[in-house]
Structures are given as structure tokens and as C-alpha cells.
Amino acid sequence: MFHKVLTNCFIHSINCSQRVHFLSKQRLLWSSNAGHNAVNTVISRCLSSTPSAVTSHTVVDTFRTNQSDPRLHSTQHLAMYYTIPADIATKLFVLGGFSGQQQRAFKTFRETTLMVRRPALEVMDYLRRAHYNRPVNRYVLYGPIGSGKTFTANHVLHYGFEEKFVLLYCPNPTDWVQYPEETSQSSYKGQRMDTPIDAAVWLQLFRTHNNHLLDELDLRASKQYVWSQREITEPGDPLKNILEHGISRIKHSSDCMAVILKEIKEQSVSGKYRVLVVVDKANAFYESSKIKYPDRSLVDIDNITIARAFKKLFTNDWTNGAVVATVDKKLVVPYRIHKVSRPFKAKAKSRASDNWGPFTVSHISDLPHDLLTNTGFKHFDPFIPIEVPIYDDKEMESCLNYYNDRKWIQRPIAKTVEGRNEIKFLSAFNPLETYEICCGL
């Protein structure tokens, strides 16, 4: 009832001489669908009768929302930061998902917050409306470096977690394909390379994400798997056994992981569950790897067991699932994050990993067609490309307000209007650049 009173205040611009109880800021904001300014006039008018309350209301708090369930995020939450509850955040992102710098920032801010932005809402809307009995949809997030593709993917991951999807999350394919902890020759097929430790770690992540779901769904193996003479999985054995076996017997973990992915993909036809595959830097699967055979020749991605198994999820020959992938420009050339003053010549060949340089990626396009190679494009085609743009005005204001609130911006001059304008100018509204500039302020 109070909501209606306030929306009437807004729409008809009634001077609130009526008795209005003090409501929490967030409920005021949710009740009206328009931008800040209208809401703030409502607040200032309605609260003019309670002078003590006016002082505690400030414009800056419009950057945050209490709604921590991504299923309920909508356009009224745009440009607002929402907090992922701490236990869920540790569960989802225990393996990675956020870079070391970002994790340090979360530690300093003492919370894991993401901004609700349009690309994430778009993906979540499609996930809600999709026909899951039809072949899987692939959503590819693309955009300039630092525009928030990883954060969008993580937002969708949280959504999938709340919606009880079976989560298959690969935060860093480069860890498997370029810098694995350990490689060994596969016992299943001679040509293949296993990555035992990485597979075991991923199985633990899978268990953390999906433990309760596996108990509920009671998925079973569909055929016999012989791990060794004494360790055999019979058809009808629960998949949890294979999971536990993979984690405890690291030697077989790559094969266990491949089996689990295969089983989940095949059994999705039953419709008992839906799968959400979230992959960051999906184009790593289509670039060359850095792993070498004992004779120093490079291993193909299709010969790395876990990468091969994961790649099979990207094709649309299965149902009851969705694939959310990000494409990253930085993988295409040896990319150095540090800014260098000397001019570098942009080389024409952009895919040679032997070249030392060019260390810049400005000559490469952001689009999925150019970043997923020919094979990748054939796997993904047709996909739904979703652009993750840089901040707009409202989001930028929200970001700076949040940094102010978290005391990340310390210098007094950076808190003034001129200071904020300068930050906007220097960062060109790029989210990563804003963070890096505010590191020094």
C-alpha cells in the first residue's frame, strides 16, 4: 500500500503532505521504475516532514541493491551493485573465476559484489525463455578488453546456481592447455596427454558446485568403465562414485572427468536436469597449446583429454542445456599487461606464437568471428553474440560511488566533481581502466 502511495507521488507529483511512514531506501527505489533523479525528488519531498531522516538519505546510495538473488534482477536494478552472499561466493569461485587482482579487491572491500548490467540480464532472460527440449543455445560474450565479460559470465553462473542448473564451469582454460601443473601420457589412448592434477582440481570444483544436485538427481553411469584391473565402474553405479574415484586416484582423474562430462551430456536428453556450461576465454580451446610431447613437438588441443572432453560440450548436438562463453583477445598474441612507452610495430601475422611481440592487441578485432578460429566458429555457429559494452554514464557514476563508499578512492581531490570527471576522461569509461586508475588515487 505504501508502494502505491509513493508511485502516485512520483507520477502525479503530489506534494507529500500526506502522512508517509519512513521506508527503507531500497523499497522506495524498487517501487519506481524511472531513473535516479525522479526518485530523489520523491525522497526529498516525502521526507521533508521528517528532517532527521533527510540527513541520512544521500544520493550516493543509489548504486547498491539489497537483492542478492539473480533470479529477481531486472531492469530496475541496472547499474546497481548486488552482493553475492559470502558462502555462495566461496563455493562458486573457489577455483578461480576472478583474477588475483580482483580477489584482492574483494578482500579489501570485504564483500563480493557485481554490478547488474544489461548483458547479464539479457543472457538470464534468454535462459528463462529458451526451449530446453531443443538443441542447446550458445551465448558468446564479446567486447573490448576490460569491459566486464568475465564478471557478466560470473553473474550468469550465480544465476545458474540459484536456478539449480548443473554447473560446468571452466574459469581458466589456459590452465589446462598452456600451463598445466603436470602432464602425463594417457593410458587410454597413447596419443593423448592427461593433466591429472588439473582434472582432480576441477572435479573438486564440480563437486562443490553440484553436490546437492547429484544427490537429488541420482545420476548413474550408462556403461561399464574399466579404470584398471581391480577398479571397474558397472552400468548403474552412481556418478558420484566416479567423481570420488577421480579425486582420490589422481592417475585416473582426467579420464574420470571426461567420463562425467560425457555422461552428463548424454543423459541430459531425459530432461530431468538442465546444464549450464560457463567458459571464460573459450577461444583458448581453439588456439595452439603450449604443452609438448617428450620429443618436443606441440600437442594438439584435441589430444589433451580434458580439453577435448570439454570442447564436445560446445556443439549443439545435445539438449537441455546452455553454453555461455567469453572470447578474449589477449590469448591471440603474447600479450604483456604492462604499458610500455616505446612504439611497437604491429605484425601482420597475428596468430604466430613464435614471434616475440607485438605485445599489443589493438590490431585484432573483438568480434567472436575473428577470435574463435575457423574450427571454433564451425563448432559454435549458430550462436547468439552478446556485446558487453563499456560503462555508460549511469554505470560510471555508480562505479565511482561504490569506490567512494568502499573507501577505495582516498585522495580528496578525486572525490570532487572535477576529479571524477577526470577519472571518466582518463579511463574512457572502461571498467578495468577505472579500477586501475582508482588504484592510484
Partner 1 sequence: MAFIYGSIHCLLKSGAKIGSPIKTCAVGLSQWSPQFAEPVLETLRLEEMQESGELHELAFKPIKARQSSHSCSLFYDNLLNRFISKAHLKGEKTMMRDLMRQAFGVMKGIQMDKCNAQDMDKEHIQCDPLVIFHTAIANCRPMIITRPIKRGGATYQVPYPLKVKESEDMAMRWIIHAVRDRPKPRKTFFPEVMAKELIDAFYNEGKVVKKKQDVHRVCDANRAYAHYRWG
Name the percent of the chain in helix, strand, coil, to the closest 5. 50, 10, 40
Which residue type sits at 192?
A: R
Q: Which three cell numbers stand for residue 366?
A: 573483438
Q: How far is the CB of 429 from partner 1 (least distance, A)?
A: 18
Identity of the residue, 126 or 359, whose beta carbon is nearer to partner 1 in the bound complex: 359
- 10 Å CB burial of residue 317 (0-12, 13-18, 19+) is exposed
Residue 68 and residue 85 in contact, taking contact as beta carbons nearer than 8 Å = yes
Identity of the residue, 212 or 407, whose beta carbon is nearer to partner 1 in the bound complex: 407
Report the alpha-carbon distance of residue 421 to residue 419 in Å, rounded: 5
Q: How far is the CB of 409 from partner 1 (least distance, A)?
A: 10
The string of DSSP codes covering 57-111 is --GGGGGEES---GGG--GGGTT-EEEEPHHHHHHHTSS-SS-HHHHHHHHHHTS
**CA nearest to 196, candidates 187, 381, 415, 426:** 187
**Measured in Å, how far apart are the chain's first and last C-alpha atoms?**
45
Three-state SS letters, 170-215: ECCHHHHHCCCCCCEECCCCCCCEECHHHHHHHHHHHHHHHHHHHH
Identity of the residue, 5 or 441, whose beta carbon is nearer to partner 1 in the bound complex: 441
Q: How far is the CB of 126 from partner 1 (least distance, A)?
A: 36
Q: How far is the CB of 346 from partner 1 (least distance, A)?
A: 18
Q: How far is the CB of 423 from partner 1 (least distance, A)?
A: 9
Residue 200 and residue 192 in contact, taking contact as beta carbons nearer than 8 Å = no
Q: How far is the CB of 99 from partner 1 (least distance, A)?
A: 13
**CA nearest to 114, candidates 166, 158, 165:** 158
Identity of the residue, 251 or 330, whose beta carbon is nearer to partner 1 in the bound complex: 330
Q: How far is the CB of 410 from partner 1 (least distance, A)?
A: 4
Q: Considering only the C-alpha atoms of the chain, give the largest distance between any 2 of them, rounded to a whole number of Å.
A: 84
Identity of the residue, 296 or 339, whose beta carbon is nearer to partner 1 in the bound complex: 339
Identity of the residue, 188 or 408, whose beta carbon is nearer to partner 1 in the bound complex: 408
**Interface contacts to partner 1, rule CB under 8 A:** 104-105, 107-108, 110, 338-342, 407-408, 410-414, 418-419, 422, 426, 436-437, 439-441
CA dihedral (72, 76, 77, 79) in degrees, to 10, reads 150
Identity of the residue, 89 or 279, whose beta carbon is nearer to partner 1 in the bound complex: 89
In whole angstroms, what separates CA 160 from the centre of its chain?
A: 11
Identity of the residue, 107 or 378, whose beta carbon is nearer to partner 1 in the bound complex: 107
Identity of the residue, 384 or 437, whose beta carbon is nearer to partner 1 in the bound complex: 437
**CA nearest to 273, candidates 176, 366, 165, 189:** 165
- 10 Å CB burial of residue 384 (0-12, 13-18, 19+) is middle
Q: How far is the CB of 416 from partner 1 (least distance, A)?
A: 8
Q: How far is the CB of 378 from partner 1 (least distance, A)?
A: 39
